[in-house]
Structure 1
Amino acid sequence: MYDLLVVGAGPYGLSIASHAAAAGLNLRVFGRPMASWRDHMPRGMFLKSEPWASNLSDPERRWRLDVYCAGRGVAARHGHPIPLDMFAEYGLWFARHAVPEVDERMVTRVSPCPGGFEAVTDDGQVLHARTVALAVGVMPFVEIPGALRGLDASLVSHSSHHSDLARFRGRDVTVIGGGQAALETAAILAEEGSRVRVLARADRLCWNDVPPPWERPWWQTVRSPQSGLGCGWRNWFYSERPGLFRRLPESTRARIAATALGPAGAWWVRDRVEPTVQVLLGHEVAAARPVSDGVRLDLVGRGGAAGSQRSLETEHVIAATGFTATCDRLGLLSDDLRGALATVADGSPEVGRDFESSYAGLFMAGLVTASGFGPAMRFVHGATYTAGALVRGVRRRLRAGGGPSTIVRQPTGSGATGSPSVPLPGGTA
């Protein structure tokens, strides 16, 4: 029986595995390394985060992004975006040097068993581990607006479903959303020769400012410090103090997780969008139906255009509408295990100080923990804090010898019910 099974081999899973291996744990890591970055992001995109805020985490900080870039004759400089394909290659390099061999099979089911957990791979092998860390990334949580659900994939797709947008050359495409994914997708589509428009609910698009120089007068640094999530003391708190963030009241954490660092485009995308992309603001899709040449969208106005109605026809809709990380979407967990998870108000799993869920021995990482540890968990930058804290929690759990039938504590989240002596039924908000 393994000490730890890491499910997922993206930035969070690889970072956790590196820290766990350094701690001497007997572990296995499953998943295709950097799969989301390699398979679900169109060629030509860039990393929005600063290079120094995009490191995967190993305990000695040897395998940083700037080290990888320097070895290839590229300078990872502040204010200069890194191509996503280079970042994906960096992740593979990190996996080769900082992580035990990664098994590229997928884990399809995790269930409780005496003394720990049972995991089944996609080819039917059964493994057992005393603890499990779920680092499944964002793909299980794809969110498509309700009005578009049920339409054929030839008409509607999510922005994460594309690695190559060239197939839309010469076609009319509508991108829904006002954030980086929507705006950069639209820019690439226009550059590929598509007729593209952006449809957003907001009354205006937001654009991030050009980052200030790394070296600034001390008074500017004090007034607005740099952080992995941008400048300012609020962003610094979210970025650098996830453990303190977790001590905020649950309602405050949920509000911040839902609203902080809202949709915005990177400064270097703006000049690629404004001259070439039609933008329709203050509208959302009320209904959609197939027509002979694609899909007809019935739109309703919001904000200053509230109450107005209009329609448009397009050949394809790309929904760049983000991800909703709730327990009910963790389909690889068995029904009894998923149902035993206590949740917080937004339906995500409640996690303790070490990223352990209410089901002892089952740990969570990444986007699914944003309501517990803050907006940093939506970005690669959060992997460093997560890896250290989670592996410390795994070691404590192993020393305690508690099996997964033991609940660690009485959860206080709004989705939690039951007694601390039995598995708690979860819920979704």
Structure 2
Amino acid sequence: MTQSIPRQCHTPVKGSAERRGGPVVVIGAGPYGLSVAAHLRAAGVKVLVFGEVMGSWRHAMATGMFLKSTPAATDLSAPAAGGRLADFRHERGEPELTELTPIPCEVFVAYGMWFTDRFVGEVTARHVTSVDRAPGGFTVRLEDEDPVAASAVVVATGLRPMAHIPQHLLRLAPAGPGPDTVLSHTSHHTDLSRYAGQRVAVVGGGQSALESAALLHEAGAHPHVLVRSRTVRWGATPAPHRPLIERLARPASPLGTGWALAGLCHAPQALSRLPAPARLLVHHRALGPSGGWWLRARVEGVVPLHTDRHITQAHLADDQAHLRLTGKGGGRFRFTADHVLAATGYRIDIGALPFLPPPLREAIARVPGSHAPHLTGAFESTVPGLYFTGSLAAPMFGPMLRFVAGTAFAARRITRHLQRHAPGR
């Protein structure tokens, strides 16, 4: 059972000698934060975890959503045997999930909470308001508690603060987008049934857009998906027992089949040694937008899909969104909707992390051509003792870090480094 760590367990802010013996603070209690914390605690490193366990999965996913990943690519990284999704299911007397069994988000959330109880221990459900450098480490300030002295900080907050909505759509919500305005982002929702009976423009062509459209339709709304590309891509149905020749030609990996994806998963550290332009090219193009194979029957032929549609203008009139679009052959189109749902993804930008004050942000070197932090092979930034993991590290180590499958690589590397460099043990 997770609960706040008692106040007396926090390391109060003292001088540099005491601070160097302080704990490692992990900010974020999703798959990456939990995995890093589990490995650190098993290694004997003092660690405090701040955040709501599986918070983004509980509050930024609409009810009824499934994971796109297969069960084999959905295990959090435990420091010992017995921490897989299959172990969780077995302990509860439930059948093991297979490649042909899409995983409901609520099952993954329950797994994450079980993992926390078994391998992490207590998590403080408090928001970190700022991280400041101090002699011998950092001062971590919380929303309603005394500041904490930390020898090192691991940022594992996920992408929610970096939700991206194209600038021309923001004119639809002058006071800011949200569920109660004409414009929202998919990360704003846990329940899409509020739009029953409404005409909804879903902007995007990836999993988030397509699954949101299916849920909207099934809740009685009238979604239309506006896709920039000329086609909608779908994942292939898994074949659990492929012939040997197929497995050699297109080996399996947590990201899919093929030698390129297998290489990215097998040696993410090699990608970090490439020039920044090459890394960013891989980051942006390795896995384009697509829908899960199991979702296709709920969308194709059921929900209108408007491909090759580019929104050029958007304005608000009579409480509706009026969109102007261009399309095939330079054609011009108009579309009116009661609500616009932006399934337009996230932009990695450490400037969007509210707890990093300007002096600290400015000291963090970026990957050239991006707003992502430049990291060492141990996930440490150019500010000694400050680490970033999860999607924030994907521009350095490749697309595997955008998925749960990257937790083992990150947790082991960060833990090995902190075992040597964090005296707070």
On whether the aligned pair clears a TM of 0.5, the verdict is yes
Partner of 1:189: 216
Equivalences for 1:56-205 in 2 at 5 Å?
56-72=76-92, 73-152=94-173, 153=178, 154-205=181-232
What amino acid maps onto 1:386 in structure 2? A
Q: Secondary structure at the match of 2:325?
A: strand
Q: Distance in 2 between matches of 1:338 and 1:268?
A: 41
Q: 1:269 aligns with which of 290, 295, 298?
A: 295
Q: Distance in 1 between matches of 2:171 and 2:224?
A: 22
Equivalences for 1:347-366 in 2 at 5 Å?
347-366=371-390
Q: Secondary structure at the match of 2:296?
A: helix
Q: Secondary structure at the match of 1:196?
A: strand
Q: 2:68 aligns with which of 40, 45, 48?
A: 48
Q: 1:326 aligns with which of 349, 357, 367?
A: 349
What amino acid maps onto 1:143 in structure 2? H
Q: Secondary structure at the match of 1:331?
A: coil
Does 1:283 find its partner at 2:309? yes
Native 8 Å contact 1:7 1:136 kept in 2: yes
What amino acid maps onto 1:119 in structure 2? V
Q: Distance in 1 between matches of 2:345 and 2:329?
A: 24
- Call closer, same or farther: CA 1:185–1:88 in 2, change over 3 Å: same
| Residues 135-159 of structure 1, C-alpha deviations (whole Å, 9 max, x = no match) | 0101011000111124333111001
| Residues 211-240 of structure 1, C-alpha deviations (whole Å, 9 max, x = no match) | 121x33322221111111111111111222
Partner of 1:406: none
Q: Distance in 2 between matches of 1:368 and 1:351?
A: 10
Native 8 Å contact 1:260 1:375 kept in 2: yes
Does 1:207 find its partner at 2:245? no
Q: Distance in 1 between matches of 2:81 and 2:34?
A: 13
Q: 2:398 aligns with which of 346, 371, 374?
A: 374
Q: Secondary structure at the match of 1:18?
A: helix
| Residues 364-395 of structure 1, C-alpha deviations (whole Å, 9 max, x = no match) | 00111111000001111111111101111222
- Call closer, same or farther: CA 1:126–1:171 in 2, change over 3 Å: same
Q: 2:332 aligns with which of 293, 300, 309?
A: 309
- If asked which structure has higher relative contact order (CA below 8 Å, sep 6+), I would say 2
What amino acid maps onto 2:219 in structure 1? E
Question: RMSD between aligned alpha carbons?
Answer: 1.5
Native 8 Å contact 1:58 1:98 kept in 2: yes
Q: Distance in 2 between matches of 1:248 and 1:396?
A: 26
Does 1:39 find its partner at 2:68? no
Q: Secondary structure at the match of 2:111?
A: helix
Q: Secondary structure at the match of 1:43?
A: coil
The Cα of 1:307 is off from its aligned counterpart by 3.1
Q: 1:389 aligns with which of 410, 413, 419?
A: 413
Q: Secondary structure at the match of 1:298?
A: strand
Native 8 Å contact 1:21 1:100 kept in 2: no
| Residues 281-321 of structure 1, C-alpha deviations (whole Å, 9 max, x = no match) | 111221211111411111123xxx25332211100011001
Native 8 Å contact 1:51 1:78 kept in 2: yes
Unaligned runs of 5+ in 1: 402-429
The Cα of 1:175 is off from its aligned counterpart by 0.5
Q: TM-score, normalised by structure 1?
A: 0.90
What amino acid maps onto 2:47 in structure 1? L
Q: Distance in 2 between matches of 1:350 and 1:131?
A: 17
| Residues 168-222 of structure 1, C-alpha deviations (whole Å, 9 max, x = no match) | 1111111000000000000111011101100011011001111121x33322221
Partner of 1:18: 38
What amino acid maps onto 2:333 in structure 1? R
Q: Secondary structure at the match of 2:334?
A: strand
Q: Distance in 2 between matches of 1:240 and 1:54?
A: 16
Alignment size in residue pairs: 397
Q: Distance in 1 between matches of 2:380 and 2:162?
A: 20
The Cα of 1:124 is off from its aligned counterpart by 4.1
Q: Secondary structure at the match of 2:330?
A: coil
- Call closer, same or farther: CA 1:306–1:252 in 2, change over 3 Å: farther
Native 8 Å contact 1:11 1:383 kept in 2: yes
Percent identity, aligned pairs only, is 39
Native 8 Å contact 2:255 2:265 kept in 1: yes
Native 8 Å contact 1:70 1:76 kept in 2: no
Partner of 1:232: 258
- Call closer, same or farther: CA 1:306–1:135 in 2, change over 3 Å: farther
Q: Distance in 2 between matches of 1:61 and 1:381?
A: 16
Q: Distance in 1 between matches of 2:28 and 2:404?
A: 14
Q: Secondary structure at the match of 1:388?
A: helix
Native 8 Å contact 2:23 2:424 kept in 1: no
Q: Distance in 1 between matches of 2:91 and 2:329?
A: 54
The Cα of 1:102 is off from its aligned counterpart by 0.3
